[in-house]
Chains A and B, each alone.
Chain A
Amino acid sequence: MKLPVKCPSCEKALQVSQLKCSHCETVVNGNYDLPLYMKLTNEEQDFILSFFLTSGSIKAMAKQAGVSYPTMRNKMDDLIEKIQKLKK
């Protein structure tokens, strides 16, 4: 099941307010930010995972995805830009 990261009503980033242990039913309430990685779309998370699994080779990723090197590098640059904005 996909974890929602944006409010369906106002599009702002969602926060974690409750965590629950499925074993003992302990519930922790609070106000936690989602980790940066979780704020990315599934596709973007897969992209980062694929980058890691190819030992950081954009060339190998491009080959796997059947696109050219500059296309893959642009995708990477766009994602870096997005992450830098999220970090601010």
Chain B
Amino acid sequence: MMNWKLLFNPFQKIETNTLLIIGGLLFLIGSFFAFYFGFTFDGVLDLHTVGEISLLNAFKQNAINIVILWLLLLGLGLFINAKTRWNDVLVSVLIFRIPFYLMILLSSIPFIKNTLNEFANSLKIGKEFQFEIENILIISGYSMVSLALLVYAIILLFNGFKTATNAKGWRHYLSFALVLIVSEVITKFII
């Protein structure tokens, strides 16, 4: 049976150092995926197709997102609880990125990629898109799974932050949401 608690809150049971290794390795793999499949991480909550991107830029973008979000959340974490450790917050951010790497793989499945390209091109040149049942199913299915992955990423980040800082109450949760939005704006501006 699948352990849902572990899937949504691995920070509760798995040691920080283990998660640091997993998150670090997946950072390397995810950045490589962005380079290989042509995606840009142009914001902490963003993932877009660009066709081509250099390996260095893919790593740089992913690293900028991680560092900015980490520093802002660490600042908030220390404000909430002076005992907050830098590595617990870093782990939350590294694990939060995993669903984005899965999104790259999902978007690179040939029949999904072709349908999305067709749809994007028809929007670009103003051509009418062939709204066949198959295309509608693919696009709506893809949108739903992407949205679910984004929500999953935010749940992971929230649970990681909560475990790292022992955050409680609406004031802490609201500050977390604000920091996430601010980091999105900053990274969008930098990248």
Binding site for B on A (CB under 8 A): 66-71, 73-74, 77-78
Contact = CB atoms under 8 A, between A and B. Distances in A.
Interface of B: 11-16, 81, 83, 85, 88, 163-164, 166
Nearest to A63: B15
B83 A71 contact: no
A68 B16 contact: yes
B13 A70 contact: no
Contacts of B11: 68, 70-71
A78 B162 CA distance: 13
B83 A68 contact: no
Which of A69, A74, A77 is most buried by chain B, counting CB atoms within 10 A of its CB?
A: A74
B15 A71 contact: no
A71 B159 CA distance: 11
Nearest to A75: B166
7 contacts: A68-B11, A68-B14, A68-B16, A70-B11, A71-B12, A71-B13, A77-B81
Contacts of A74: 163, 166
A57 B13 CA distance: 17
Q: Binding site of A, secondary structure by majority: helix, strand, loop or mixed? A: helix
A4 B81 CA distance: 34
Q: Please indicate which of the listed interface residues A67, A70, A73 has the most CB atoms of chain B within 10 Å of its own CB.
A: A70
A85 to B, nearest CB: 14
Contacts of B164: 70
A6 B83 CA distance: 32
Contacts of A78: 166
Contacts of B85: 70
B179 to A, nearest CB: 19
Interface-central residue, A66, A68, A71, A77, by most chain B CB under 10 Å: A68
